[in-house]
A = this chain, B = another copy of it.
Amino acid sequence: MSTFNELIIFIRKEVNRDLKRLPIPKRPVYLYEPIRFALSGNGKRFRPILVHLAGRANNADPESLMKIALAIELLHNFTLVHDDIMDNDNMRHGQAAVHSKWDESTAILAGDGINAIAQILLSGIPDRSNAICRFFNQATLEVCEGQALDKEFENDLSITEDQYLEMIEKKTGSLLGACSALSATLVGADQEVINHFDQFGRALGNGFQIHDDLLEIYGNPNEMGKSLGSDIAEGKQTMMVIKARNLFGKEWGEIIGDPNRIDFMDKIRSFFTENGIENETKGLAQTYFDLARNSLEKIDGINCSELFDFVNLVETRSY
Interface of A toward B, CB cutoff 8 Å: 28-31, 79, 82, 85-86, 104-106, 108-109, 111-113, 115-117, 119-120, 122-126, 129-131, 133-134, 136-138, 140-141, 144-145, 147-149, 151-152
Contacts A108-B82, A115-B115; A31 near B130 (Cβ below 8 A): no
Q: From the candidates B85, B104, B120, name the one contacting A137 in the complex (CB within 8 A).
A: B120
| B134–A124 touching, CB < 8 Å | yes
Q: From the candidates B30, B85, B117, B119, name the one contacting A108 in the complex (CB within 8 A).
A: B85
Measured CB to CB, the nearest residue on chain B to A132 is B123
Measured CB to CB, the nearest residue on chain B to A166 is B28
User: Smallest distance from the beta carbon of A125 to chain B beta carbons, Å?
Assistant: 7
User: Smallest distance from the beta carbon of A16 to chain B beta carbons, Å?
Assistant: 23
CA distance A44 to B224 in the complex (A): 52
CA distance A141 to B113 in the complex (A): 6
Measured CB to CB, the nearest residue on chain B to A28 is B148
A112-B144, A119-B140 given; name 18 further pairs at CB < 8 Å: A28-B145, A28-B149, A28-B152, A82-B108, A82-B112, A85-B104, A108-B108, A109-B148, A109-B151, A112-B115, A116-B140, A117-B141, A119-B133, A123-B133, A123-B137, A125-B130, A129-B129, A129-B130
Could you list 25 examples of A-B contacts with CB < 8 Å?
A: A28-B148, A30-B151, A31-B147, A79-B112, A82-B108, A82-B109, A82-B112, A86-B108, A86-B109, A108-B108, A109-B147, A109-B148, A109-B151, A111-B112, A113-B144, A116-B140, A116-B141, A117-B141, A119-B119, A119-B133, A120-B137, A123-B130, A123-B133, A123-B134, A123-B137
CA distance A41 to B232 in the complex (A): 40
Closest 3 CB pairs of A and B: A31-B148, A86-B105, A123-B134
